[in-house]
């Protein structure tokens, strides 16, 4: 039976000839070898790039779930890679363990997060893949392979993040931290002050990020730091109402930037300062009910402030229809060959565009700014790069490509999009 697939934002879709939800590595290996190509692995479809899209086969690893073992002293867990991040967080918290950091939502499959270098914010905190001690994959021949920091660290660094092109990840072993509580504070300041103090503000908290609503001239800064105080219930999410307000202000005042600025200034002044303490897994993720498309580039942290200033300037000169805020975060460097954070501390700048409308004029105009500042794109968010550009940004790109070839000699995992990214002739 063919069932149409589409990603979270609805921008990409396909009707694969075959869909499968194998229950074990044997069944998964059979599907990878025999089902119609290209064979793409699905997490939960939250990526904005057509990574999962396939007219051949789409495989869900939902049945590869649950915590298999854990070590209370070493603070490690071994779990199915299809497990959702939020479920994993709850299970880990119940045994006193925690992710050091999380992204904006917790709905993704852990394997999906590994596929695209999903990250949160924190100058000393890495993306999810930096927690990996070991992984089990099923390769393009249907064979089970294991990579670990201890036995074959280079291979592990080559295959993750792997865009679903380096085999299907079935099991992960993660090094965690002990459960902790965070004090989260939120306040506003002028965008000029924020950009002037960019480095200090983004690096002097355990987690720091800010949002900028177009035309507001106000940054909404969020800082989270460790706390031993008692946890209180997290205040309700205001994401939906905030987005509705921003959309309405754009509709009514989009023709007059001065009026839009004045109205936004008043609206944002009304946003209460937030200050609460809660367990880590309740602080990080939010609900994102309003659908959008997104581009996110990772630039060297020292370029962050200038890059954000240029993005804002272009947006406010040419794109008065945009009302989704810009989100800015920081991520610590790591060693994974295809990680956008490879050997450099990063400022991540994300721009968003309402789903159901064409985001490309906006994204295409912004991309040269990100590239000018040496940006590497988030693998799961829209960008226009192909192998040649990527090779120039990733010193070990060709080595990773050669390891990919060894894992998938028949190009079973290679869709037209993966071929474009890796420069593979199909
Ligand atoms: C509302 C929203 C909020 C987001 N917030 C953040 C954020 O805060 N930070 C951030 O960095 N990103 C964020 N993203 C992007 C998102 O985290 C990534 O795109 C992530 O990869 C999506 O996970 P998924 O499970 O949906 O994977 P999918 O989109 O289904 O797949 C992503 C890639 O991983 C591969 N893959 C999936 N599972 C496996 C597996 N088991 N083995 C091998 N390959 C696999 C797929 O083939 C594909 O190449 C957000 C996206 C949305 C829609």
pLDDT at 359: 98
CA of 44 to the centre of ligand 1 (A): 7
CA of 46 to the centre of ligand 1 (A): 5
> What are the two backbone dihedrals, phi and then psi, of residue 110, each rounded to the nearest 5 degrees?
-60, -40
**Domain boundaries of the chain, sorted by first residue:** 181-377
Residues with Cβ within 8 Å of residue 224, at least 6 apart in sequence: 182, 183, 184, 185, 205, 206, 207, 208, 283, 284
The two beta strands, 57-60 and 18-20, are parallel
Q: Determine if ligand 1 sits within 6 Å of the CB of residue 116.
A: yes
- Nearest-atom number in ligand 1 for the CA of 169 is 42
Distance separating alpha carbons of residues 308 and 315, to the nearest angstrom = 10
- Nearest-atom number in ligand 1 for the CA of 118 is 11
Q: Which of 235, 332, 338, 329 is nearest to 277 (CA)?
A: 235
With the most atoms of ligand 1 within 8 angstroms of its CB, the residue from 156, 207, 380 to mutate is 380
**Residues 166/204, Cβ–Cβ less than 8 Å:** no
SS in 3 state form for the chain?
A: CCCCEECCCCCCEECCCEEECCCCHHHHHHHHHHCCCCEEEECCCCCCCCCCCCCCEEEECCCCCCEEEEECCCCEEEEECCCEHHHHHHHHHHCCEECCCCCCCCCCEHHHHHHHCCCCCECCCCCHHHHEEEEEEECCCCCEEEEECCCCHHHHHHHCCCCCCCCEEEEEEEECEECCEEEEEEEEEEHHHHHHCHHHHHHCCCEEEEEECCCCCEEEEEEEEEECCCCCCCCCCCHHHHHHHHHHHHHHHCCCHHHHHHHHHHHHHCCCCEEEEEEHHHHCCCCCCCCEEEEEEEEEHHHHHHHHHHHHHHHHHHCCCCCCCEEEEEECCECCCCCCCECCCEEEEEEEEECCCCCHHHHHHHHHHHHHCCCEECCCCCCCCCHHHHHHHCCCHHHHHHHHHHHCCCCCCCCHHHHHHHCCCC
Distance separating alpha carbons of residues 95 and 28, to the nearest angstrom = 30
CA of 80 to the centre of ligand 1 (A): 16
Residue 156 neighbours by CB distance under 10 Å: 22
- Nearest-atom number in ligand 1 for the CA of 380 is 19
- Nearest-atom number in ligand 1 for the CA of 115 is 34
Whether this model's pTM surpasses 0.95: yes
Q: For ligand 1, atom 17, name the residue with the nearest CA.
A: 118
Q: Domain 181-377: which CATH class?
A: alpha beta
What tens-digit pLDDT sequence spans the chain (426 residues)?
578 999 999 999 999 999 999 999 999 999 999 999 999 999 999 999 999 999 999 999 999 999 999 999 999 999 999 999 999 999 999 999 999 999 999 999 999 999 999 999 999 999 999 999 999 999 999 999 999 999 999 999 999 999 999 999 999 999 999 999 999 999 999 999 999 999 999 999 999 999 999 999 999 999 999 999 999 888 888 888 889 999 999 999 999 999 999 999 888 877 778 999 999 999 999 999 999 999 999 999 999 999 999 999 999 999 999 999 999 999 999 999 999 999 999 999 999 999 999 999 999 999 999 999 999 999 999 999 999 999 999 999 999 999 999 999 999 999 999 999 999 998
CA of 3 to the centre of ligand 1 (A): 21
| Structure token pair of residue 92 | 């880990």
pLDDT at 1: 57
Q: Determine if ligand 1 sits within 6 Å of the CB of residue 135.
A: no
With the most atoms of ligand 1 within 8 angstroms of its CB, the residue from 61, 164, 334, 352 to mutate is 164
């Amino acid at each position: 039976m063919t069932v149409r697939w589409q990603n979270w934002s609805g921008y990409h879709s396909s009707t694969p000839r075959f869909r499968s939800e194998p229950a074990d590595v044997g069944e998964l290996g059979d599907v990878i070898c025999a089902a119609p190509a290209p064979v793409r692995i699905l997490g939960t479809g939250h990526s904005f790039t057509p990574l999962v899209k396939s007219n051949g086969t789409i495989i869900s690893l939902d049945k590869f779930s649950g915590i298999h073992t854990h070590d209370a002293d070493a603070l490690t867990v071994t779990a199915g890679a299809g497990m959702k991040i939020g479920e994993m967080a709850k299970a880990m918290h119940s045994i006193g363990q925690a992710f050091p950091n999380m992204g904006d939502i917790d709905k993704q499959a852990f394997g999906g997060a590994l596929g695209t270098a999903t990250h949160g914010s924190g100058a000393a905190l890495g993306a999810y893949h930096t927690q990996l001690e070991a992984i089990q994959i099923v390769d393009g021949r249907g064979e089970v392979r294991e990579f670990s920091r201890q036995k074959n660290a280079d291979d592990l660094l080559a295959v993750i993040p792997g865009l679903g092109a380096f085999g299907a990840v079935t099991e992960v072993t993660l090094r965690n931290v002990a459960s902790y509580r965070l004090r989260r504070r939120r306040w506003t300041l002028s965008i000029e002050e924020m950009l002037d103090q960019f480095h200090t503000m983004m690096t002097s908290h355990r987690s720091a990020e800010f949002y900028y609503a177009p035309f507001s001239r106000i940054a909404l800064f969020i800082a989270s730091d460790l706390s031993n105080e008692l946890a209180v219930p997290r205040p309700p999410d205001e994401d939906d109402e905030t987005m509705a307000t921003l959309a309405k202000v754009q509709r009514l005042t989009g023709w007059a930037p001065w009026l839009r600025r004045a109205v936004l200034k008043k609206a944002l002044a009304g946003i209460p300062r937030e200050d609460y303490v809660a367990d880590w897994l309740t602080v990080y993720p939010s609900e994102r009910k309003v659908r959008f498309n997104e581009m996110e580039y990772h630039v060297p942290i020292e370029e962050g402030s200038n890059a954000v200033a240029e993005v804002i300037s272009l947006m406010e000169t040419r794109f008065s229809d945009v009302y989704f805020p810009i989100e800015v975060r920081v991520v610590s460097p790591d060693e994974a060959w295809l990680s956008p954070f490879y050997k450099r501390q990063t400022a991540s700048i994300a721009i968003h565009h309402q789903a159901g409308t064409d985001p490309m004029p906006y994204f295409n105009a912004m991309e040269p700014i990100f590239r000018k500042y040496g940006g590497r794109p988030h693998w799961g968010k829209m960008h226009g790069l192909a192998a040649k550009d990527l090779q120039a940004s990733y010193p070990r790109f060709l080595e990773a490509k050669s390891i990919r070839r060894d894992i998938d000699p028949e190009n079973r995992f290679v869709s037209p999009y993966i071929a474009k990214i890796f420069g593979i002739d199909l």
